[in-house]
Each structure stands twice: as C-alpha cells, then as structure tokens.
Structure 1
Amino acid sequence: MTLTTAQAFTQFLGDISATEYQETSIIQARKRTVDDRLSEKFPSAADMPYSEGVLMGSAAKGTIIRPFDDIDVLAVFSNVSNAWAKYQWDSKAFIYRIRDAYSGLSIQQVGTRGQAVRVFYKTGGHVDVAPVFAAGDGVYKLPNGSGGWIDTAPGIAGQWFARRNQELGYNLAPVVRLAKSWNRAHSKRMRSFHLETVAGSAFSKIGSNYREALEKFFEWAPRHLHVNDPGGHSGDLCTYLTWSAEQSLRQSLESAAERARRARAAEADGDHAEAKRLWKIVLGDDFPAA
C-alpha cells in the first residue's frame, strides 16, 4: 500500500522511537548494570560509597532515537568519608578509579573520555557513566577532563525540558526525535543537549502536524543556536562549535528548511511521491518513500 506523507511520517516516527520493551528491558537494564557494578565495587563501607545512578540525557527525556548510540548515567558518589578532599584537586584520579572498577569484564570494553567512563557492549551501543559528587540543590561536581571540576545540573535541565514538553502538548519530544534523525543523517553537527534546548526554546506552540513543526524548527533554529544551559551552569551551549562549524550548521538548517517547504507544498498539491522524496533527503534513507 502506498503511504500518504502523513502516514509515512507516522511510520517513521514509530520506527525511530524507543519501544516499551527497549525502555524497560534495555535502557533500564543497562542502567542496572551500572548500579550493580558500582555498588559492588564501592559498597557502603568503602571510603567512597556509591549512592545512586541517575538516568539522564536523551533516554531520560524520551528523545532517544533508534538505533541507540549511547545511554547516559550519572553515577553519584557519597562524600560521607570526605572522599572529595582526596580528589578535589585531581579529578582524573577520581575518574580513573571508576574506570578501574570495570577491569576484568569480558563482555565489555571500557575507556574514558575525560568526563565519563564509556562502557561498550558486545551486543552494540555503550553507556557513558559520568561519576560525580553531589554539591546540593541538584548540582553535582563533574570532572572537567583536565583534572579540575565543573558544576552540572542535568536534573534541573531535564525538568525544564519536561515542563516545555508539557506546555507544548507533549509534541516537543516527537519533534526533537525527528530533528535528531535529520542531525544523524547530516553529519551530526549538533550535540543532543544543544538540539533539545534549541527546540525547547524556539517553539511557543506545536500542533499535531509534525511536518509543519519540523519545517518551523529548521526555519527558527538558527535564531536560537546561542541558547543557555537551562540547568544554569554551562552557559552558551553553542560554544563547542567553531565559527566555520556554526556556519556549516546554519547552512544545513537552511537547506533542510527549504526542502521541508518544498515537501509541504508538494503534499498540499497532492504529490505525495515528491513530498516523501524530499523528506527522505532531509531525514535519511530509512524514511519510507514508497
């Protein structure tokens, strides 16, 4: 059966969204492996007890897309024995100690990327374990990658996104998933957190027509690239982009906006084949064009 453009969008959104099984049996299971491993290596009697793991990032916000790249877990350690004093001036030693907790595992490959320990699974994908000390009021001390520390408040940022999603009729998260598919298909120029925050800042309302909403995202996003961390600690989220990288991103957004406009015009004229052809260019080869 030939799909209309709206039907193709519905199918594609379902294809890229996490299933209930994936949310409960894969995402949560991988978080539990973090909890189990770190609870074993850092029990309550240790000098640095493991307090809890907190799912964060796209998996926590409901904006993760398939196939999964990574799952982010905040690993909170207790300062009950004043472990902070030991690592206050050397966060590298802290993060390497967490990495060493994974040594000897045959089913995983472990590395470190400065701020997190990345655990790769043989079945595919990885978990980024970000070890932190709690600083109070939802703020955590996170290694900065060069031996020092930065403040981060992912829970506060997550609450901001959840509030915006609710205010926008729970249509923000689906639009973000679609925008992430565009980003994945076009060089992954935007970091996930940046894209989510840009989208949450750009819209004052979103209807159920996600083709229209996605066109508006591409049109409005360039005016919102320099958006601040809603958690209140990372400042301008666009600073990871060089001038030339930012210009390339702007050009990519403008190109996507133009194709989206043409696709919507083709759909309005009843030419679903052309509309789907254009959306396939925007969203990637997995978009159903038949």
Structure 2
Amino acid sequence: MTLTTAQAFASFQESLTATAYQTGTLIPARRRGVEERLSGAFPSSSDLPFSECKMMGSAAKGTIIRPFDDVDVLAVFSNVKNAWNTYQWDSQSFIYRIRAAYSGLSVQQVGTRGQAVRVFYEGGGHVDIAPVFEVGSGVYKLPAGDGTWINTAPFIASNWYADRHRDLGYQLSPVVRLLKAWNRAHSRRLRSFHLETVAATVFGQLGTDHRVAVQRFFEWSQTRLAVADPGGQSGNLSGYLSWNAHQDVVQALESARVRAANAIAAEQRADHAEAKRQWAVVFGPDFPTS
C-alpha cells in the first residue's frame, strides 16, 4: 500500500521512538549494571564510597532516538569520608580511579562539556558514566579535561525541559526526536543537549502538525542558536561552534527549511511522492518514500 505523506511521517516518527522494551528493560538494565559495578568497587567501607546513579540526558527525557548506542548515567560519590579533599585539585586521578573499576572491559575516556567514562558492551552500545560529587541545590562537580572541575546541574535542566514539554502540550519531544534525526542525517553538527534546548526555547506553542513545526524550527532557529544552559552552569550552549561551524549550521538549517517548505507545498497539492522525496532529503534514507 502506498503511504500518504502523513502516514509516512507517522511511520518514521514511530521508528525513531524507543520501544517499550528499551525504555522498560534495556535502559534500566544499563543503569543497574553501572550501579552494581560501582557499588562493588566503591562500597561504604571505601575511602571513596559510591552513593547512587541516576539516568540523565536523552534517555531520561524521552528524546533518545533509534537506533541508539549511548545511555548517559550520573554516578554520585559520597564525601562522607572527605574524599573531595583528596581529589579537589586533581579530578584526573578521580576519573582514572573510576575507569579502573572497569578494568578488563572495553572503556575509554570521553568529554564534551565534562569528562565521562564510556563503557562498551559486547552486544553493542555503550554507557557514558559521568562521575560527580554533589555540591547541593541540584549542582554537581564534574571532572574537566584539564584536572579541574566544572559545575553541572543536569536535573535542573531536565526539569526545565519537562516544564516546556508540558507547556507545549506534550508535543515538544516528538518534534525534538525528528530534529535529532535531521541532525544525525546531516553531519551531527549540533550537540544533543544544545539542540533540545534550542527547540524548547524557539517554540511559543506547538500543535500536532509536526511537519509544520519542524519547518518553523528550521526557519526560526537560524538566529536563535545562542541559548543559555537551563541548568544555569555552562553559559551559552552554542559556544562549542566556531564561526565557520556556526555558519555551516545556519546553512544546513536554511537548506532544510527550503526542503520542508517544498514538502509541505507538495503535500497540499496531493503530490505525496514529491513530498516524501523532499522529507527523505531532510531526514535521510530511512524516511519511507513508498
């Protein structure tokens, strides 16, 4: 059966959304695996006792898209035995010690806004573990790449996003997943957290027509890429973009805007083949064109 544009769009959105098994079993199992490993390596008797781990990032917000590889976990370590005094001037030693807990497994150290330990699974995928000390009021100390520390407040940011999702009639996350598919299909120029925040900032209201929503995002976001960290810790989230990279993003957004406008116009004149062809350019070859 040949799909209409609306049917193709709905099918594509479903293909991006995490399954019940992934959200109910796989992702929680990854978190529990981190908790079990760190609890064993850093028990309450340790000079660096492990406290708890929490899901964060796209998996926690519900904006993760399939196929996905990474799950982000915040691993909180206790200062009950003054461990902070040992590591406050040397965050590298702290993160190396967390890495050592995964000796014998495939791991690497990664970082964008802070440092994390990436643990790979034989069956595919990985978990990024961000080890932190809690400061209070939702703020944590996360190792920086130079041995110092940076402040992060991921759950303040997540709560802000959840409020925006609610205020926009719970239509924000479906649109964000589409925008992440576009970003993935076009060189991944934007970081996930940045893209989510721009989307949550750009829209004053959202309806159920996500085709129009993404077209408006491509238009409006071109001049609104500079957004502040809703967690209040990292300043301008577009700071990682050089001038040239910023121009490349704007050009990519404008190209997507034109394609989206063409797709909407084709659908309005009942030319579904052309509409789907245009959307496939925007979102990549996984978008159904038949």
Paired letter, 1:67: P
**DSSP-derived class of the 1:113 partner:** strand
Q: Which residue of 1 aligns with 2:74?
A: 74
**DSSP-derived class of the 1:278 partner:** helix
1:124 and 1:261 map into 2 onto residues whose CA distance is 38
Q: CA deviation at 1:271?
A: 0.3
The answer to whether 1:112 aligns with 2:109 is yes
Q: Which residue of 2 aligns with 1:178?
A: 178
1:113 and 1:104 map into 2 onto residues whose CA distance is 18
Paired letter, 1:283: F
Cα-to-partner distance string for 1:115-144 (whole Å, 9 max, x where unaligned):
000001111111100000000000000001
Q: Which residue of 1 aligns with 2:131?
A: 131
Q: Which residue of 2 aligns with 1:234?
A: 234
**DSSP-derived class of the 2:239 partner:** coil
Give the aligned CA root-mean-square deviation in angstroms: 0.7
1:241 and 1:126 map into 2 onto residues whose CA distance is 26
Cα-to-partner distance string for 1:69-125 (whole Å, 9 max, x where unaligned):
3110000000000000000000000000000000024xxx11112500000111111
Cα-to-partner distance string for 1:27-84 (whole Å, 9 max, x where unaligned):
1111111000000001111111111101000001000001103110000000000000
1:262 and 1:218 map into 2 onto residues whose CA distance is 13
The answer to whether 1:192 aligns with 2:192 is yes
Aligned length: 287
Any unmatched runs of 5+ in structure 1? none
Q: CA deviation at 1:277?
A: 0.2
Q: Which residue of 1 aligns with 2:273?
A: 273
Q: Which residue of 2 aligns with 1:217?
A: 217
**DSSP-derived class of the 1:71 partner:** strand
Any unmatched runs of 5+ in structure 2? none
Q: Which residue of 1 aligns with 2:52?
A: 52
1:124 and 1:187 map into 2 onto residues whose CA distance is 22
Q: List aligned pairs for 1:30-109, cutoff 5 A.
A: 30-105=30-105, 109=106
- Give identity over the alignment, percent: 63
TM-score (norm 1): 0.98
TM-score (norm 2): 0.98
Paired letter, 1:110: V
Deviant stretches of 4+, over 4 Å: none
2:54 and 2:253 map into 1 onto residues whose CA distance is 33
21-30 vs 182-191, greater mean Cα deviation? 21-30
Q: List aligned pairs for 1:5-44, cutoff 5 A.
A: 5-44=5-44
2:12 and 2:129 map into 1 onto residues whose CA distance is 30
